[in-house]
A and B are shown apart, each in its own frame.
Chain A
Amino acid sequence: MSCRVPEGADRVSGFDVNRLDDAIHGRLRLGIMAYLMDAEAADFNELKALLDATQGNLSVHLRKLEEAGYVEIVKSFQGRKPLTRAHITTAGRAAFAGYLEALSKLVEKR
């Protein structure tokens, strides 16, 4: 899901859609961030099962969050199997809080 909206839509009743963080906005990335707010760390397979995502799709979204500095990806091995684990960062926690703040402007509006 993209946050691109037509020009002018950001002016409605003081809600500024541009304040929604592009790196987080999108169901899969939002899901990852919300889950990591509680769990702090999650394995790739755990996120894949939880979000019902495909391997490729989840990889792409995790990379976007990593590029934004919101999650840290640690790769290791568990026995012979590769293990990818995502950890929430302080910047990620702050960004998610900011995102919710921006969203609340829309939701709390009468």
Chain B
Amino acid sequence: MEAPDLQKEDAQKDQAHGDLAFLKSLVSQGPKAQVTAGQVFAVAGAAYSAQCFLYWLQIMLGWQWPGWLQIAVAVAPIAVLVGFIGWVFWRDRNEAGQGVATRALNSAFGSAGLANLALCLVFGYVSATQQNFLIWLLYPPVSCAALGACWYIAFMVRRKWWLLGVAFGWWGTAMALGFLIRNMAGYLLLLSIALLVLMVVPGLIMARPGKADDAGEPSAGGAHKDLAFLKALVTEGPKAQRGAGQLFLIAGVLYGLQCFGFWVQMAFQLTWPTEAYVFIGFAPTVLFLAAMFWMMWRDRKDSMHGAATRAINGAFGSAGLANLSMCVCLGYVSASEKSQLIWLLYPAVVSAFQGACWYVAFVVRRKLWLAAVSAGWFLTAVTMGFLITDIGNYLFVFGIAMFALMAAPGYVMSRTGRGG
């Protein structure tokens, strides 16, 4: 009876190999709606690039435009983009349910739009109330940083290196625009070129119909890899959640305490020794960086196979990198213009980027409390814009946000991720 047993075993083995290949191909399926996103990017990039280029020409050639042309150039890109997005929504209204990779990718692009909207309100309000056009000129660099963040998430989801190049291109542009803020012609030309190279071109690449994903043909050697892939998938989501949660908890508590420390000093008009200011100013960052590097070392061998885990890690990571580029940009402009008010825009930008990354987490994980955290951060960003000249309340609001929207969600994430 040996031979039939062996035959059955072989049949079971073949079936197991087939099942594993099927599961791996199912889970590693790429995003499908990138064609639409690519079309939107190409149209938006072309419209805004043309607008910047026309403004640049106006400066270089000293044109005097009639009023109607001024309005037409200012409004045309918005009209084109809104019209195109409306048409795309109408065209794709009956699309079937999307996979997690598509959701992650779309949410990344959507989150950049939401962050831009919140920051448009902040920068518009502050610029108008302070009657300072330079503050409004800081809005495009912030948008560039947000775009960098969404392309970074796209890189994490699709694992294509050119997407990482686009992300760093946008962050580089954000910083360069800060350096060029007093050189209007250079600023506009750079923005026009960046929109063409980093938005239209990637948009057209995305809009091309892609190759089908690997079918995941069963093979004896591949079965071990497929199995390892699926085993990693079981634990990596909770592990990643635990790691990110712990980091948020630490950051929320440290920076929350820092805000309250300065708020107490201002509210009660206390005079502290210089050492106390230095400690409150630097200790949270030193402790946070120490914790972050320790966690990166601890989790260095953790896998990131699933699109959802990659997207969420990418969202939180991209918010950090976007913050870094804005820190350089706003720090430089604030120092060169000797304006503390410009530096105070930075926490509002951080809040909007936090809102964007929690939005990605909500769309991917579909948990309502994540949407509430995201909305909370967007609201904080706008509120901070309105409170920018009232430093005491500004610090108080940011401190509350740090505890309620960073430390508390971080604690929840670290608890729910314990199962991993």
CB-CB contacts below 8 Å: B20-59 with A: 20, 22-23, 26-27, 29
A contact residues around B309 at 8 Å (CB)? 38
Q: How far is the CB of A5 from chain B (nearest CB, A)?
A: 7
In this complex, the member of A8, A27, A38 whose beta carbon has the largest number of chain B beta carbons within 10 angstroms is A38
Q: Is the CB of A100 within 8 A of B227?
A: yes
B contact residues around A12 at 8 Å (CB)? 5-6, 8-9, 12
Q: Is the CB of A107 within 8 A of B27?
A: no
B237 at interface by CB-CB < 8 Å: yes
Q: Is the CB of A38 within 8 A of B16?
A: no
A46 to B26, CA, bound (A): 12
Q: Is the CB of A107 within 8 A of B17?
A: yes
Interface hit among B352-360, B363-371, B381-389: B363-371
Query: Residues of B within 8 Å of A, CB-based: how many?
Result: 41
SS class of chain B's interface: helix, strand, loop or mixed? Answer: helix
Interface hit among B61-69, B97-105, B202-210: B97-105
Q: Is the CB of B8 within 8 A of A5?
A: yes
In this complex, the member of B29, B96, B307 whose beta carbon has the largest number of chain A beta carbons within 10 angstroms is B96
A30 to B231, CA, bound (A): 13
For A106, give its contact among B16, B230, B233 (CB under 8 Å). Answer: B16
Nearest A-chain residue to B6, judged by Cβ: A12
B296 at interface by CB-CB < 8 Å: no
SS class of chain A's interface: helix, strand, loop or mixed? Answer: helix
B contact residues around A100 at 8 Å (CB)? 227, 230-231, 234
Nearest A-chain residue to B98, judged by Cβ: A46
Q: Is the CB of A39 within 8 A of B308?
A: yes
Report 26 cross-chain contacts, Cβ distance below 8 Å, ordered by A residue.
A9-B9, A11-B5, A12-B9, A13-B9, A15-B9, A27-B19, A27-B22, A30-B22, A30-B23, A37-B234, A38-B27, A38-B237, A39-B100, A42-B100, A45-B96, A46-B97, A49-B98, A49-B99, A50-B97, A90-B419, A97-B231, A100-B227, A103-B227, A106-B13, A107-B17, A108-B227
Residues of B participating in the A interface, judged by any CB pair closer than 8 Å? 1, 5-6, 8-9, 12-13, 16-17, 19-20, 22-23, 26-27, 29, 96-100, 223-224, 227, 230-231, 233-235, 237-238, 305-309, 364-367, 419
